[in-house]
Each structure stands twice: as structure tokens, then as C-alpha cells.
Amino acid sequence: MCLGALVDAGAPLEEIEKGLKKLKLKGYALRERKVVRAGITATKVDVVLGAVSKSQKAEVRKWREIQKIINESAIPEGIKKQGFAIFKALFAAEAKVHGKTISTTHLHELGCVDCLVDVFGTLIGLSVLDVGKIYASPVNVGSGRTKTSHGIFPVPAPATAELLKGIPCYASGPSFELTTPTGAAILTTLSSGFGDMPSMVNETIGTGAGSKDVQEQPNLLRIMIGEAYEKIPRGTVTVIETNIDDMNPQVYAYVMERLFERGALDVFMTQVIMKKSRPGTLLTVLCNAEKKNGLIGIILKETSTLGVRFYEAGRVTIKRDIKQVQTIYGRVRVKQSMLGDVLRIMPEYEDCRRIARENKVSLLHVLETAKRASLKK
């Protein structure tokens, strides 16, 4: 489906095939055709395996064999690096669910020619279309059950579920697998974020078709390619909240410390009036999606709350840089951000606090000194 969407968006299949020849794989062919899924026209690209690759299917399964194929190829280094990351994610997920190491794990239906073609064909197609950054919607895993080499499992399959940890997912539509481990590995490795479509000017739309044609919803993958039109980056952040009214206030400082240690972007508390007019505290934590479960665990363990709520929120951020400047009192880290032609400068509080104590001077004076030094640099 990734290949179909990229070809539909304008990546010539001949260019993808030319790039794939550098992998030195044999016994396969790519076939492109137009199909209709639930009334929508899309491009279907099939990896057609021949007798040679079917025999290889039983051999090319371990991490060292995948590494050898990639290392001995003439694929550009940037694509090699991405391919390594995707396959390592696949092997790590399979190793986790089967209780093995990466080196001893067999990928079964994944680690063969068609998987290599799917992954590297996608990477080559993205390169041909000069895609610089990828964002994805929340992932629909499908529903029902799926048949694997280890038996029948509920959707998502164990490896898919492992790969999608920390990623927004949902189950909807027809009763079959909508996200495979290969697809999950490609999405999670390449995507810069998951959520609403970023602000952009769409220039090209490509639609790739899956094999099944169901009427509940189109079995399609759609990609939109264009240019960002905002200078201010947009993204998403996970918000975790809980209301507390029965805990010793001294505990909050320790909880905040633990949350920051585990990767929270921000932690803050708000005084609220709860039911029966009891005063309480709203504890709010901001984090990246992959940190959510660990931070929820800390809140449940270290506070008196019986539960938390969480949700994804849109976020706009201004790009900022951390620089070091030399002052008469020593070096200070300074955070600089630019919005249009407006420069904002904020010296690092902890550095200025330490310098003020060591030199027995006013903190405000140190802050102003650091700002002036930053402007001179």
C-alpha cells in the first residue's frame, strides 16, 4: 500500500525498480495496476515472487542476513540507515514478543524478499519524491483476528502491538488486519509525529490500495505531499491529568522531580475546587506520546490518586536554540528563539542562580548581564 500510494503520487515505478536493483535481490517483479476500492480509484503495486525468491524466503530471516544484504548493496547511505532502523525495529519487536534476542529471532513471513522490497521500495519512492518530513494520522489497526505462523491472534498481532506502543491507535472498520508489522515499523520509524494533518499546501495526493475490497470503508492508504506554509512548527503533545484532594502537599515536589526524570516536558499544578466544595490540586503533565505509560505509572504509584485521564492536544512551538555566552562572572547558557524578526532571549535560570550566589551579586543583575552578552555574540 505504501508503494502504491507513492507511485500514485508520481514516483515512477521504473525509478523505484532501478533503485531496488542495487539491493541485488533476485526472483521478484513489481506489478502496477489501477483498482477500485469501495468506489475509489487507487494504484495497487504487487511484489510478485518467482521460484528463486520462494526458496530464499526460507533463508533470509535472521538479523545478520538482513544486515549482509543491506551492507553489500549499492543503496545510498541515507536510505541504508533508514532501512536498518526499520528492520531493527521489526526484529526487536519480534524478539520481545517471543522472548528471544535480536540475533536469534526469525522474522518468518517478514524477513524475506517481499518485505525487503516493500521497505526499500518505500524509502526509494520517498526519496524520488523528495519528501523531507513525514507525519501520520492515528493508526487504525483493524479488528477481529489474523492468522500468523504462530497461530491465530487477535488484531493487532503481537509484533504490531509492540511496534505501536506509545503511538495513537484505534480499532475500526472491517474484521481483519489493517496494519501489519511491516507497515507499523515503516510508520513508527519514519514519522516525525502522529495526529492531525499539519498545516501545509497540498500539491500531490497518492492513494495506494490493499488487496481486499470491503464496503464498510475503503481499504486504502492516502498520502498528501506538499509544502508547510507556517513558519511556526505544529505538532501534538500528550496531556495527563488527575485531581487530588487527600495528599500531603510535601509529596508534590518529589512527584514532580520523578516525572521530570522520566521525560516529562512540563509538570504543573493548579488549585481547584472539587466536589462537595473541597479544595484540591489538578496535577497536569505534558509529555511525548511514547513517555505516557511510564509517567502514568509514576503518578499512580507516587500519589494518592485512583486514576488519571489523558488526551492528545495540538501544540504550536517556536524553534529555540541553547547557546553558551561568556559573561564577566563566567559562562551562562542562554535560550534564544526567533519569531519573524523578533528575537527572544532567556538566560538559563539555574546558571544565573548559581553565579549570583557564588559572586554575591543580584540575580536580576546576572540575568541582564547574560542577555547583553548574548546580544553582543
Whether a cis peptide bond, with omega within 30° of 0, leads into 174 is no
Residue of 218, 207, 167, 209 lying closest to 188 (CA atoms):
167
Secondary structure (3-state) at 131: coil
Give me the pLDDT at residue 58, please. Answer: 45
Phi and psi torsions of 47, nearest 5°:
-95, 105
Give me the pLDDT at residue 51, please. Answer: 57
* Strands, E assignment, 229-365: 234-244, 266-273, 279-287, 309-316, 320-327, 330-339, 342-347
Secondary structure (3-state) at 299: helix
CB 58 within 8 A of CB 87: no
The whole-angstrom separation of Cα 99 and Cα 135 is 32
Is 234-316 a CATH 3.30.70.1380 domain? yes
> What is the tens place of the pLDDT at every residue in 278-332?
999 999 999 998 899 999 999 999 999 999 999 999 887 777 788 889 999 989 9
Give me the pLDDT at residue 233, please. Answer: 65
- The domain spans of the chain are 2-228, 234-316, 320-376
Exposure string over 342-356, b if 16+ CB within 10 A, otherwise e = eeebebbeebbeebb
* Cell reading at 249: 502537599
> What is the tens place of the pLDDT at every residue in 19-44?
999 998 888 899 999 999 999 999 99
Give me the pLDDT at residue 231, please. Answer: 58
Which residue ranges in the chain fall short of pLDDT 50?
52-60, 109-111
Residue of 287, 273, 265, 267 lying closest to 245 (CA atoms):
273
The whole-angstrom separation of Cα 298 and Cα 295 is 5
